[in-house]
A and B are shown apart, each in its own frame.
Chain A
Amino acid sequence: MLECNVTHGLEPSEKRAPKRDFERDTACGVEHDAPRPAPSTAERDFERDFAVYESRIGCDLRVSTQFNEAATPLAIDRFCDGIGEGNPLFRDGAHESPWGERMAPPSFIFSVFPGWILQGLPGWHAFHTSSDITFHQPIFEGQAIVPRSVFTGYKHFPNKMDAGSLCEYQQASWLDEQGQPLATAKLSGVRVLREKARQASINEERVLPHPWKPAELEILEERILRHEPQGTRPLFVEDVQVGDSLPTLVKGPLGMTDIVAYCVGASPVRLQAHELALQHYAQHPAWRFRDADGRTVEPMFGVHYNQSAATHAGMPAPFDIGTQRHCWLVQMLTDWMGDAGFLARCEARYTGFVFLSDVVFLSGSVTGVGIEGNVGTVSVRTVATNQCGQEVMRGRSTVLLPTRGHAPAVAARFHDRQA
């Protein structure tokens, strides 16, 4: 849905039409400018749909998936419940910190809207593949948040084997009531022709659900419960060195309730029931499917909690939500940096699937340390792997830490800006 044709200092966008094999005369194995037959109806539809898609570049996308409108106490609580966030900085209004009041986790922005907008391009699947978020301001309790999304362009893959797929780029903003950014993000997603996506179904060689042994689960649960955030003990930049490892945060084995709890706290899509669902699917038939077992009508979003939906999409099992995994990464970083720090950037690329029963180990290592005045800037490379050692996410983050003896320095920097 287009709202206006505006520019916001966005990066230059690629505006070329994608390669389409049916445009080429390859009957004798060569490509040349032979006279083309009149396009079929399907080809004309494709041309029209893609022209509409391209015309949206630079335009605002309608945010129809907005959930929270403000960081109310209850909204923060529900969101924290949904990601397993127990840090008192985000849970306890009476908790004392350099910030002076209760905050929402930085990842709370995903409960306003996930950043990535599924825009119409008939016949093309979409997968959100990365988010590179810059946090400009902390989010305090009571903060109203206004979402915004812009389609910034697309590029083809640099690989002939990937014909029929492209990478789409969007820019998201979470603004305060004055229009100032609390956070901004560059997002990318892969668009794949539906036929190609079905052919490329994921064939996991490992056993799913993972055959956990009771003793293994006991060790995992003990490790999860032993993990504690840095909290009120300030982490000073002088205590951090290049090569340091961050404490690993463990999530899982991922259960269906973990997915449901995230949907309750962050509602990444708008789900409707009964006649409202049927009315919605009448307008968007591609967003529904008929459950092979219960014969019920279900949303395609059910790939995250419904085996039948996952099977329908060519997946071996239901899998987690990209932004949900990103929230765990933010938690790993805020747990490490303590109350006195500020997460300034958090980039994540979702490089593998996390299926129900999988465990995710989130960790990081310090790649750079700098100091300016009483505030240090720490660069961190992050990685998340599953129980088989397969990478499922990686990225880069930047954290601000105070120098020794100046614990409130980072918070003071933001309070000075707000004054």
Chain B
Amino acid sequence: MTDEELIARMKVLTADCLGIVDASRLAPDVRLAEDAGATSLDLLQLVVELENEFGISIDEASYETIRTFGDAVACVKQYVAEGERHA
């Protein structure tokens, strides 16, 4: 999976989970809480859906650092890469 493919899948999933009408507006610097209106529960739901979508298990220390869409992409990329290394 290329970075572009991963980001495209994440945009669709994140928009769907957080109720964002236009997924293309999910730029890396979009703040999920302040700009997209996500609550703590929404952010947890997003983490669970990202785990299911990409077959990864994100630990607490990692998802606590997610503030922006770019943070989420970096987090998922890291876990996907680790999974591929161990495959």
Contacts and interface: CB of A to CB of B under 8 A. Distances in A.
Interface of A: 11-12, 14, 16, 129-130, 155-160, 162, 167, 169, 188, 190, 349, 351, 381, 394, 396
Contacts of A155: 44, 47-48, 60
A157 B51 contact: no
B57 interface: yes
Interface in B2-53: 16, 19, 39-45, 47-48, 51-52
Contacts of A16: 59-60
Given A130-B45, A157-B44, 19 more contacts: A11-B48, A11-B51, A12-B51, A12-B57, A14-B57, A155-B47, A155-B48, A157-B40, A158-B43, A158-B44, A158-B64, A158-B66, A160-B64, A167-B41, A169-B48, A188-B45, A349-B42, A351-B39, A394-B19
B16 A162 contact: no
Given A129-B41, A157-B44, A351-B39, A381 B60 contact: no
A162 B40 contact: yes
For the complex, would chain B's binding face be called helix, strand, loop or mixed by DSSP majority?
Answer: helix
B54 interface: no
A169 B52 CA distance: 14
B52 A11 contact: yes
Contacts of B47: 155, 158
Contacts of B60: 14, 16, 155-156, 158
A349 B41 contact: yes
Contacts of B64: 158-160
Nearest to B37: A391
Size category, B interface = 10 to 19
For the complex of A and B, 4 pairs with smallest distance between CB atoms:
A157-B40, A158-B64, A12-B57, A167-B44
B40 to A, nearest CB: 5
Contacts of B48: 11, 155, 169
Interface string B50-76: 011000010110011010000000000
A292 B6 CA distance: 57
A155 B48 CA distance: 9
A207 B20 CA distance: 31
Question: Which of B39, B48, B59: most chain A Cβ within 10 A?
Answer: B48
B73 to A, nearest CB: 16
Contacts of B59: 16
Nearest to B52: A11
B84 to A, nearest CB: 17
6 contacts: A158-B47, A159-B64, A160-B64, A188-B41, A349-B41, A351-B41
Contacts of A167: 41, 44
Contacts of A188: 41, 44-45
Contacts of B63: 158
Contacts of A11: 48, 51-52
Given A155-B48, A155-B60, A188-B45, A396 B16 contact: yes
